[in-house]
Amino acid sequence: MNGPQDLGGAMGFGPVRPEVDAPVFHAPWEARALGLTLAAGALGHWNIDESRHARESLPPATYYASTYYEIWIRALEALIDRHALLAGEAPAPHPRRLSAAAVPGALGAGTHYARPVATPARFHPGDRVRARNIHPRGHTRLPRYVRGHVGTIEAEHGGFILPDAHAHGLGEAPERLYTVVFAGAALWGPDAEPGLTVSIDAWESYLEPA
């Protein structure tokens, strides 16, 4: 879907101003929001792609009026409701509940999304490709601002889970993942910053030969 988070090249939002020596959290509740999201996700009712899609599915007016961790909490509310985790009587302790002692190990282990792909790579470094002009109703990681534009394959990374399928319970559907470089002028015309290039990671089904 064309979610409110897809702002590349959009005007009217002002410059990005990184904070110098910014704290990890600006208020104690933000740390709690992160902790709740990670603990709920560890129960296994949804994956990272469904979680991301929940954030990107918020109404634009809500999304733009919310801070970063407000967006996380609103999405978590939607996921908990969707999976009926608070419905009915109080359940017994969940078998996958994440104890405080288990948190460092779980975060340190991370989650691996690389998967083998049997078919050979369709594209190779140096190939010119066009990002497909797609506007799916479901989740996608293809930025709207590159769709229909021509770029160059910089690297091929092997197979990875396809978020478009994974977010909707349609299996992992792994595809090859590429880094594609676009010239700023190709995306935004003569008003683009001189010499600007934009790199994205794109799954194979997002691309077609130029």
Question: What's the mean pLDDT in 38-49?
Answer: 94
Predicted confidence band at 142 (pLDDT cuts at 50, 70, 90)?
very high
pLDDT tens by residue, 161-178: 999 999 999 999 999 999
Q: Tell me the torsion sign for CA atoms 190, 191, 192, 195.
A: positive
173: buried, middle or exposed (CB in 10 Å: 19+, 13-18, 0-12)?
Answer: middle
Domain boundaries, the chain: 28-109, 128-209
The CATH T-level fold of domain 128-209 is SH3 type barrels. (2.30.30)
User: What pLDDT was estimated at residue 91?
Assistant: 64
User: What pLDDT was estimated at residue 66?
Assistant: 97
* Nearest residue to 82 (alpha-carbon basis) of 49, 48, 45: 45
pLDDT tens by residue, 146-164: 999 999 999 999 999 999 9
192 pLDDT exceeds 70? yes
CA separation for the pair 181, 179 (Å, rounded): 7
* Nearest residue to 206 (alpha-carbon basis) of 131, 138, 145: 131
Residue type present at position 72? W
User: What pLDDT was estimated at residue 88?
Assistant: 66
User: What pLDDT was estimated at residue 196?
Assistant: 95
User: What pLDDT was estimated at residue 110?
Assistant: 86
How many helices (H) and strands (E) in the chain? 7, 5
% of the chain exceeding 70 in pLDDT: 98
Q: At what angle do helices 28-41 and 48-56 cross, to 10 degrees?
A: 130
Residues in the chain, total: 210
Residue with tokens 């009712």: 45
With beta carbons less than 8 A apart as the criterion, state whether 155 and 178 touch: yes
Question: What's the mean pLDDT in 32-49?
Answer: 94
For the ranges 6-10, 49-53, 192-196, which has the lowest average pLDDT?
A: 6-10
Q: Where do the DSSP E strands lie in 46-188? A: 128-131, 150-160, 175-183
pLDDT tens by residue, 15-30: 888 999 999 999 999 9
128 pLDDT exceeds 80? yes
